[in-house]
């Protein structure tokens, strides 16, 4: 099963200034149970917050807190505002980074940015943009793809 390192840990691995206290991982919704089992985490359960819904499992590996989400979807006032990305597209946009002799796929930082904008967290979007690695260029094609998905969901 495939997974991506996302959020602060992903941005840190790309060279950003963040020093996260946990590792956030994302996978396809259908792979969440297998990913949780492989990591020794509890079986994922539906987690619905004010802005997000996913299959989620939380635990630790070697003393490091892990937060695994499968099929993360941004919610708006009337339901899904930004459906979970097509896993292939998200994985294709991942950035491979060599860490400790292994290649780690870092989820597209653009995904985090779009999620915050769509959820109405503009302050969070500004903080995220400010925390991107120096010289990191946002990829307009991925941004357009995800903003288009949000516009379609809003109809």
Regarding predicted confidence, which is higher, 87 or 138? 138
Average pLDDT in the 128-134 region?
89
Q: pTM score > 0.85 for this model?
A: yes
Each residue's pLDDT tens digit, 68-103: 999 999 887 666 778 777 788 889 999 999 999 999
Pair 55, 31: CB distance under 8 Å: no
How many separate domains does the chain show? 1
Which tokens is 75 given? 């919610």
* Rg from Cα positions in the chain: 15
Alpha helix positions (H), 6-93: 7-13, 32-39, 87-92
Which tokens is 152 given? 């379609």
Integer CA distances (angstroms), 105 to 124, 150, 153, in order: 23, 24, 28
Which tokens is 66 given? 């892990």
Range of the domain at 54: 4-154
CATH number for the domain spanning 22: value is 3.30.460.40
Q: Are strands 64-76 and 23-27 parallel, antiparallel or unpaired?
A: parallel
Note the residue count of the chain.
Answer: 155
Each residue's pLDDT tens digit, 102-117: 999 999 999 999 988 8
């Amino acid at each position: 099963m495939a997974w991506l390192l996302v959020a602060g840990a992903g941005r840190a691995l790309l060279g950003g200034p963040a020093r996260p206290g946990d590792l956030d991982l994302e996978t396809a919704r259908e792979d969440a149970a297998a990913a949780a089992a492989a990591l020794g985490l509890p079986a994922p359960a539906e987690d619905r917050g004010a802005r997000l819904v996913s299959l989620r499992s939380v635990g630790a590996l070697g003393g490091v807190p892990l937060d695994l989400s499968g099929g993360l979807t941004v919610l708006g006032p009337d339901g899904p505002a930004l459906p979970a990305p097509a896993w292939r597209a998200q994985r294709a946009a991942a950035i491979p980074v060599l860490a400790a002799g292994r290649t780690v796929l870092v989820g597209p930082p653009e995904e985090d940015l779009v999620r915050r904008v769509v959820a109405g967290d503009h302050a969070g979007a500004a903080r995220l943009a400010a925390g991107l690695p120096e010289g990191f260029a946002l990829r307009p094609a991925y941004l357009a793809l995800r903003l288009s998905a949000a516009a379609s969901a809003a109809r």
